[in-house]
Amino acid sequence: MSRDPGNAIGRRTVLRGSAVASAALALPAAAAAAAPALVLSGRPQARWGAQVGDVTASSGLVWVRSDRRARMIVETSATDSFRRTRRWHGPLVGPGTDFTGRTALHGLPPGEQIHYRITLADPHDPRRTGEPVYGTFRTAPARRRDVRFLWSGDLAGQGWGINPDRGGFPIFSEMRRLDPDFFLCSGDSVYADNPIPPTITLPDGRVWRNITTEEKSKVAETLKEYRGNFRYNLLDAHLRDFNAQVPSITQWDDHEVRNNWYPGQILDDDRYTEKNVDVLAARARRAWSEYFPISTLRPDGAGRVYRVLRHGPLLDVFVLDMRTYRNANSPGRQPDDAVGILGAEQLAWLKRELSRSRAVWKVIASDMPLGLVVADGGTNFEAVAQGDPGAPLGRELQIAELLRHIKHRRITGTVWLTADVHYTSAQRYVPTRAAFTDFEPFWEFVSGPLHAGGFPAVGLDGTFGPEQAFVKAPAKPNVSPAEGGQYYGEVEIDGGSAELTVRLREEGGAVLFTKVLQPGRVGQ
């Protein structure tokens, strides 16, 4: 199926709904933050746009936020004229979910464009409704068909927030024009531990200006503050328009809670009055669950993040959770490690689901890279690798077990996608270069940030034999988005040949690196 990236499907519908939200939110920062309280005498309004997540061949999960108590009503149609509609009665949204609501759509036709509109109705008078918000998405195909999706992570980090001089987050408009089937967010969807100041002076003397809010003026600790972090990003019109056209598959990493966190951690950080990370993580997870349509999580945070999304016969996406079940960050030299970075239960699930998959390509969405050495302080390590190029130790033991399973079960077509390190790169893992050799070669592609500080490249760990085919990273830390260095990746699968092409892209449209992979071929 060919597509014209300049002719985004359903743009009239999307922009029609977005205009209402944009008008409501195109205010100075303080007014935008307080806007819901200013209009409660009117009708319910959905100022934060609409989203759809975890789309399958027959279903999708629609999201909205109201400015007050309201009944969520969703209508779907095959066209943006909405002459024939199907109606879905959603929940009554209120303060218990920060006025967010989700409605599951089922029985949709596979491989079709679905147009939807969300109306919020006064719970006491259903005739009193706000202006609808509109969106569109494509269901996954039942048969072989071209597939295109994007991935990246790291949004509004290191104090680089919504800058009105740059128009906010313009990278989302660029990605929207590519008209992907979905967007994989590889984590750090907010930076709850990075306050957004009004201004930052750049190295050349220019001043970066930020829209900011009360909740973004300090590190998040309370549920209200975590919720405010997610609301903050939705002040950006580019992101709202993107959400209304492109469904998401979302995972979390550390900054949804706090940098480099792990279960059981007690903080030594004067910015926090609450030192127990488990308490912070529970609040953050609830807010994250409220603000993203994730099929395996309830709005109260119950459920699990890891899941598999099946996108027709060509693609399965395995979404990992490398936060909830990990052990403490350490030097990573232990010879036995049953907990690792995934936990025993998630590892068993992943091995089982990979074995069951009949998709040609099996994308493993990892919120952290495998062979890149990501440190946590002087002697501890944050990701899998710990800088020792020898036999697997610590968290590497779980990855070795997984890679051995993939080889011995003859599972083909695995590709790893990740973000986290704030630059872009491509690594091929090769047993002939590795200390651990019982695996088949595979590729890992790294992208990001979307809108955060850029950082220099880290070293490679030789345990699994990575060879770096491409890397682009700044020479100094925390390079602002004004200086470039914002990245996203594109994956395209040909419906006829099943050939998979990965492109590493930079904001502005440049393709930095391209790799074409052939289906079923080992060691490419």
The DSSP annotation for 141-204 comes to PSS---EEEEEE--BS-TT--B-TTTTS-THHHHHHHT--SEEEE-S-SS-TTS---SEEE-TT
Domain boundaries, the chain: 1-254
Count CB neighbours of 495 within 10 A: 16
Whole-angstrom distance, CA of residue 24 vs CA of residue 43: 13
**In this predicted structure, what is the pLDDT of residue 400?**
98
Is pLDDT of 487 > 50? yes
Is pLDDT of 242 > 90? yes
Whole-angstrom distance, CA of residue 214 vs CA of residue 33: 8
Going by C-alpha positions, the residue among 323, 453, 367, 416 that lies closest to residue 153 is: 367
For domain 1-254, which architecture applies? Sandwich (2.60)
Count CB neighbours of 238 within 10 A: 21
**In this predicted structure, what is the pLDDT of residue 42?**
85
Predicted model pTM: 0.93
**Greater pLDDT, 223 or 23:** 223
Count CB neighbours of 319 within 10 A: 24
- If phi > 0 it is left, if psi is from -120 to 50 it is alpha, else beta; for residue 351 that is alpha
Per 3-state DSSP, the chain is made up of helix, strand and coil in percentages (nearest 5) of: 20, 30, 50
Is pLDDT of 362 > 60? yes
**In this predicted structure, what is the pLDDT of residue 39?**
44
Tell me the per-residue pLDDT of 281-322, one tens digit each, with 9 for 90 and over.
999 999 999 999 999 999 999 999 999 999 999 999 999 999
Q: Mean pLDDT over residues 202-219, rounded?
A: 97
Give me the chain's average pLDDT, please. 93
End-to-end Cα separation, the chain, in angstroms: 26
**Greater pLDDT, 397 or 37:** 397
Tell me the per-residue pLDDT of 368-385, one tens digit each, with 9 for 90 and over.
999 999 999 989 999 999
**In this predicted structure, what is the pLDDT of residue 522?**
65
Tell me the per-residue pLDDT of 248-257, one tens digit each, with 9 for 90 and over.
999 999 999 9
**In this predicted structure, what is the pLDDT of residue 520?**
86
**In this predicted structure, what is the pLDDT of residue 60?**
98
303 close to 297: Cβ distance less than 8 angstroms: yes
Count CB neighbours of 154 within 10 A: 30
Whole-angstrom distance, CA of residue 421 vs CA of residue 474: 12
3-state helix/strand/coil string of 458-483: CCECHHHCEEEEEEECCCCCCECHHH
Q: In terms of C-beta density within 10 A (0-12 exposed, 13-18 middle, 19 or more buried), how is residue 484 classed?
A: middle
